[in-house]
Amino acid sequence: MTKTKVEQIADYALRARYEDLSAASKKQIPIHILDSLGCQIAALGATPIDVCRRQTREFGGGGHVP
């Protein structure tokens, strides 16, 4: 059975180890973390995020996915 792209990415993520990263990749980690945090902060109060939050509440969601 052929795996979907999402399944392939999930398999990779499960196998990935910090030790397997190149020195260049390790150097980029803090940059990516800061970029991700900046995107999250910028999204606070944004209309699409608020719409998704309201829809989640309407459907009875709100908990964390285990």
Q: Would you say residue 63 has pLDDT above 70?
A: no
Q: Within a domain: residue 26? A: yes
pTM here is: 0.53
Q: Within a domain: residue 17? A: no
Q: Within a domain: residue 52? A: yes
The boundaries of the domain holding residue 34 are 22-61
Q: Within a domain: residue 55? A: yes
Q: Which is nearest to 18 in space by CA: 7, 9, 27?
A: 27
Q: How many CA atoms lie within 13 A of 7 on its CB side?
A: 4
Number of domains in the chain: 1
Four-CA torsion 19, 24, 29, 32, nearest 10 degrees:
-140
* DSSP 3-state of 17: coil
pLDDT tens across 1-49, in order? Answer: 899 999 999 999 999 999 999 999 999 999 999 999 999 899 888 898 8
Q: Which two tokens stand for residue 63?
A: 């908990």
Q: Which two tokens stand for residue 52?
A: 């998704």
